[in-house]
Chains A and B, each alone.
Chain A
């Protein structure tokens, strides 16, 4: 009976310990990446290539999501207001929601699937096929070669991709307002600018930079610690996507609490 009562606490204890150990190992890798910034000759050229893979190649999916989000936001705003609130508030809602919440978070979640999974699978495969060991035997510091370019690319490119996504989302909301809601461009833009503050842009960028950092660093972390064969790679990839998606949502709430 006692052991039955103790079991949930033991499970919580084990989970907590696993979390703390994982956090410690991830922190150690991040610290090593910071120290590896001195190996400029190793990571500089590779960072440009990763910026293309992390950023440019992610533009289509980010814009696709943003476009439909903008359309739905405009239609739902109009449906909710139902004549009680002036229609130019559609512009307010589309602009604020895209910039402060849906643009950064939906792009972050989409890229955690695309970029995080890609990084984890690639590094995981390199780990199990001894390619990372091979790098080390040729005197390449693996963190400088593999982690630093990817994390830097995430930090630089996530805000750019998100800015594009926010722009496309708002444009989609504007076109929807013109074509389906019988609004004028003047009304939409009036609403869009009514409560706009430059801090909104700062807030969105702070969020996306943090999302870029966690998605790429968590992808690298799970890739690096992959063990076993194809099954291990699959497990790491799943963990990278699940954990980075959860961390994005936690960070989203954290920034709202601390900055708004």
Chain B
């Protein structure tokens, strides 16, 4: 497996967010992790890049156990993982080009010319060519997300983690972002994990699904399998019908 979470537990104070969650993303696929608000989707993603450490359980990326890596090991891992934040998390004091080039500055052997060229390439790849000198405050929500994706792919990572990439966007822009996610997979061959509760978007990008509920894995399988699932919790979520859970109970 390219990325695997095994029986991960995480609590913040008395609030148990993950209670033995497991999931895996295979090489070259896009895994969509579904779950309601506050179900621990973002917490899961942060474990993969070592921003959070599990209380129990194991997190593996590329054969490396993330929760046991030292500082240098984590930095090395993060160079191979791009992270697209929910609200883009662009550095507001920097221009778009500086934002996209930030990760490249940490790589040794990349000259300034190469960095600038790579920034231009990445911006063009997300249809944001010509926006390099703008500040994040001058961009729309969709444009910020696109710059966030450009920043994530700048270091040519093997993995990209998308934290609710379409939340708060209009339907047209959501489709554009979904198409970008698919394009990144097709053109760059990256393995992706997308967390979302936007079902339309999820079906557009997913090769496989995992669902988190009550801190545990509720479902893992293909788009066809999730569509035909008899699990009332899964059906309630994908069909947006909470009454199915009550009926099952």
Contacts and interface: CB of A to CB of B under 8 A. Distances in A.
B150 to A, nearest CB: 13
Interface string A121-152: 00000100111011011111100000000000
A146 B151 CA distance: 20
B91 A133 contact: no
A137 B78 contact: yes
Contacts of A133: 46, 51, 83, 85, 89
Contact of B87 (A126, A130, A137, A139): A130
Interface in B65-108: 71, 75-76, 78-79, 81-83, 85-87, 89-92, 102-103, 106
B206 interface: no
A129 B87 contact: yes
B195 interface: no
Nearest to A138: B103
B123 interface: no
A131 B87 CA distance: 10
A139 B75 contact: yes
Contact of B83 (A129, A137, A140, A141): A137
B212 interface: no
Nearest to B161: A137
Interface in B25-57: 46, 49, 51
A254 B49 CA distance: 44
A131 B91 contact: yes
Contacts of B71: 141
B193 to A, nearest CB: 13
Interface of B: 46, 49, 51, 71, 75-76, 78-79, 81-83, 85-87, 89-92, 102-103, 106, 151, 155
13 contacts: A129-B89, A131-B89, A134-B85, A134-B89, A136-B78, A137-B49, A137-B83, A138-B103, A138-B151, A138-B155, A139-B103, A140-B102, A141-B75
Given A129-B92, A139-B106, A141-B71, 7 more contacts: A130-B87, A133-B89, A136-B78, A137-B51, A137-B81, A137-B83, A138-B106
